[in-house]
Amino acid sequence: MYRGGSSYASGSRAATRRHVDYGRTYVVRPKGRHRATIVWLHGLGDSGASWYQLLESLPLPNIKWICPTAPTRPVALLGGFPCTAWFDVADPSQDGPDDADGLEASAAHIANLLSSEPADVKLGIGGFSMGAATALHSASCFAHGRYGNGGRYPINLSAVVGLSGWLPCSRSLKAKVESSQEAARRAASLPLLLCHGTGDGVVPYKQGERSAETLRMSGFRNLTFKAYNGLEHYTIPEEMDAVCKWLTARLRLDGSRA
């Protein structure tokens, strides 16, 4: 476990820098040969510790999981109450205002966590709720090849998973993907798995469904959307089983238990 901090230069003319202190990062070491590393992002007010315990129990011996903890910051959705959050949020939907600076800082922190992984290891990002939204923002940075401030996105992603989340910064996504042939190619080839419960009262199911449709319309064609009837804002073994099977297939982990 370690604590981390990062500085993020915004894309404004003044290019201010702000330091963000992240909480503890928990790492699940692979039990077999190391074939993939995935950063997994918790939801609002949570920490990396809770997902560490669940991910450690999954039958995926070739995956290393990195579970960071978000910075503590005031959150508009909670009336300004401070809690762990990857970015500020007032409305967990595509229609709400986007905290672009917060999203970019978290995307840079996640990329930094993945930057020292071995060259032959496949890289991915996943998350729940706000963590899923942050993972999808990282997917858009990967496709575009750049952060919003123009800096190069340095990670080659092989898989992105979002559970009970939504798509932030959706208004500019299609233009980013269509900005170059390379961006369109990266978007079309990136495997995405989105799962959402129809009984979700925190991030409504329609938001998850709409996010998947917006991603597809923007050029992310390699997308799987799974609905879970009656599931509220949490995960269940059936959903995690689907995540395991999807990751095994997309990362080609079959036959690599040793």
200 is an active site residue = yes
Catalytic residue among 88, 172, 233, 256: 233
233 is an active site residue = yes
Q: Which residue from 90, 184, 46, 212 is spatially nearest to 54, judged by alpha carbons?
A: 46
CA distances from 11 to 7, 151, 196, 211 (A): 13, 9, 33, 26
CA separation for the pair 252, 67 (Å, rounded): 22
Catalytic residue among 137, 200, 211, 218: 200
Catalytic residue among 129, 158, 164, 170: 129
Residue 44: both structure tokens together: 């609002």
Q: Which residues are catalytic?
A: 129, 200, 233
